[in-house]
Amino acid sequence: MLRTSFTELVGIEAPILCGGMQYVGYAGMCAAVSNAGGLGTISALTQGSVENLKAEIRKTRDLTSKPFAVRI
């Protein structure tokens, strides 16, 4: 585990940030990165609506208990 001010700030194990990527920023990838010790990111624009974004956040919470981000 590599400790930096970034890892301590966001509560992750490795200083790896998966940026919000259009068309691929879904719960599965986000949770995989977070579960591996980085900070996974959901892309809000990819979801298409507020309802879909809420559902994707819920899916991510089901897939990981680790921190993740939402790019708006």
Q: How many helices (H) and strands (E) does the chain have?
A: 4, 2
Q: Which helix (H) or strand (E) holds 71?
A: strand 68-71
Number of domains the chain contains: 1
Chain segment 30-47, per-residue pLDDT in tens: 999 999 999 999 999 999
Residue 12 has pLDDT above 80, yes or no: yes
What is the predicted pLDDT for the residue at 2?
84
| Mean pLDDT to the nearest integer, 2-6 | 90
**Domain of 23, in residue numbers:** 5-71
Cβ(26)–Cβ(48) below 8 Å = no
CA distance 29 to 31: 5
Structure tokens at 10: 């966001």
Chain segment 51-70, per-residue pLDDT in tens: 999 999 999 999 999 999 99
CA distance 54 to 57: 5
